[in-house]
Amino acid sequence: MMKEVAQKLTPFIPQNLRLDIFISLWEEYRDKERVAEELGCKPALVSRWLKEGKAPSGKYMPQVLSLALNRSAKVREMLRMEVLEPIENLSAELGTFPERKAEGDLGKVLDAVDEKNRQILWYLWWNRHAEIGELAELVRAENDMDVLSRLKESINTAAKRILGKDIVSFQSSKIDSITGEKVLFSWWLEDSLLPSKRNQPLVDIFEENKHISIIAQLSAPLELAREAQVECKNGVLRIKIERIKKSGGECYG
């Protein structure tokens, strides 16, 4: 999937940005043999690109972009700012940009970030706060710096552009207003974005290695049975879960 996206996106990337992307990929490997193997070329060609300060040719650039997008948060942010954001702004001015599918401030930001950043936002929305290590494990990040980059340079940058403010922040010490617990050294989601009733509930789907995660906002708190009836037909997923009833026969909620 990433290779196909990179193939389509490469023609829209200016030469100076192509070189920056290649250098960022080189900084991830620092090994001419490995880079050459990944790109399917000879190490001497990699040496020439580095020596001459030139971006790889069109033949190799889609693979460079695909690798860089998978390995570098810096490249993802660079691409967003230099290519995707200008296209989005132009589309908005021309009136051709589609309406966002999710309502509310959080929905707008969810629509503007990649899958791993959405996972981070949903996790914070569910738990209210999280330590950096939790988030790194959640998105299988190589290190904490990758998560910090996502929080500061991707999520908050998108939020500032859309909402005019940061939506995640680090607190060395804060009292959780729901539990009364004192929480240390954690990242928090902006209080105004926490769960509330909406006309259009938020829904997201994550396809992971061995399972699919579906996260949805309900219109009201409910107590549900642990087992669910799951059906999938013609690409459509249907999940039915029984509500647990009170002794009087009324459902919670």
With a cut of 80, say whether residue 248 has pLDDT above it: no
pLDDT band at 169 (very low <50, low <70, confident <90, very high): very high
Percent of the chain with pLDDT strictly greater than 90: 19
Rounded to a whole number of angstroms, the distance between the first and last alpha carbons of the chain is 41
pLDDT band at 242 (very low <50, low <70, confident <90, very high): confident
| Residue 108: HSE in the Cβ half-sphere, 13 Å Cα cutoff | 15
With a cut of 70, say whether residue 197 has pLDDT above it: no
**In angstroms, what CA-CA distances link 75 with 22, 71, 126, 230?**
9, 8, 29, 39
pLDDT band at 144 (very low <50, low <70, confident <90, very high): very high
pLDDT tens by residue, 57-92: 778 888 888 888 877 778 888 777 777 777 666 655
Please, are residues 160 and 81 in contact by the beta-carbon 8 Å criterion? no
User: What is the three-class DSSP state of 96?
Assistant: coil
Q: Which residue has the higher pLDDT, 39 or 212?
A: 39
Lowest mean pLDDT segment, chosen from 9-23, 56-70, 81-95, 178-192: 81-95
pLDDT for res 98: 44
Q: Which residue has the higher pLDDT, 171 or 192?
A: 171
Lowest mean pLDDT segment, chosen from 16-30, 144-158, 206-220, 239-253: 239-253
Percent of the chain with pLDDT strictly greater than 70: 79
pTM: 0.45
Give me the helix-helix angle, 43-52 and 15-29, nearest 10°: 120
CATH number of 100-193: 1.10.10.10
- What rounded mean pLDDT belongs to the chain? 79
Of 164, 76, 172, the C-alpha closest to 117 is 76
Q: Which residue has the higher pLDDT, 99 or 246?
A: 246
H-helix or E-strand containing 114? none
pLDDT for res 64: 85
pLDDT tens by residue, 83-106: 777 766 665 555 544 444 445 788
Q: Which residue has the higher pLDDT, 223 or 115?
A: 115
The domains of the chain are located at 2-93, 100-193, 220-253
pLDDT for res 108: 86
